[in-house]
Amino acid sequence: MVQSTGPKKIKCAVFISGTGSNLKSLIRFSNKKSSPISIELIISDNSKAKGLNFGKIFKISSKVFDFNNKSFSEKKIIYEIKHKDIKLICLAGFMRILSKDFIKNFKGKILNIHPSLLPKYKGLNTYQRALSNNEKYSGCTVHFVNSRLDSGKIILQKKVKISKNETPKSLAKKILIQEHKLYPKAIRKVFNL
């Protein structure tokens, strides 16, 4: 008798530029039986990204595209993604802005995690900017990617309290812990699972 392998998982690519701690948490999540996704591909714009090690450890195919020629790199990535039948792209600390054309190819299928309570503090240096404005709270947001920077529909957010002696570094650390929980939750929400 053939054993059922359960419902098919949604094939997913994760894009990174650096440490890849969100990638690691997404891999852990994807390895759970109840997870709706399987991670089939890691894309990086940086051959030195520490996160690429997770590809080796977990035996996930990884590719580096230098983005010196953005449209050429994007074309190759689109080919890879379609070839592997990938249906979801998770940006996880990917520090490039994807072109309108790229985004159009995967409308409603690209998610991003951002270290602020959007729509506040789009872009870079979110921690310093929140502290300089004497915010009482900051946090993280998972959102759909559209053609405007950090402006797509919000899926989920998590607030964190800013303490008295908070520094950009301590705030980043606090928010990152929440990011690792929020991204899997947001994926479940997107797929109603």
Length of the chain: 193
> d(Cα 154, Cα 112) in Å, to the nearest integer?
10
Whole-Å CA distances, 39 to 5, 61, 85, 97, 173: 17, 9, 12, 22, 25
If one asks whether residue 176 binds ligand GAR (CB under 6 A), the answer comes out as: yes
Spatial contact of 48 and 16, defined as CB atoms under 8 Å apart = no
User: Which ranges of the chain would DSSP assign to H, the alpha helix?
Assistant: 21-30, 52-57, 70-83, 100-105, 126-132, 168-190
Chosen residue from 55, 115, 139, 184 binding ligand GAR by CB under 6 A: 115
Which residue of 179, 182, 184, 186 would you call a contact of ligand GAR, by CB under 6 A? 179
Q: For ligand GAR, which residue of 36, 51, 55, 152 counts as binding (CB under 6 A)? A: 51
Closest approach of ligand GAR to the CB of residue 76, in Å: 22
Binding mask 76-95 for ligand GAR (x = CB under 6 A): ----------------xx--
If the CB atoms of residues 82 and 159 are measured against ligand GAR, the closer one turns out to be 159
Residues that bind ligand GAR (CB under 6 A): 16, 18-22, 51, 92-93, 113-115, 176, 179
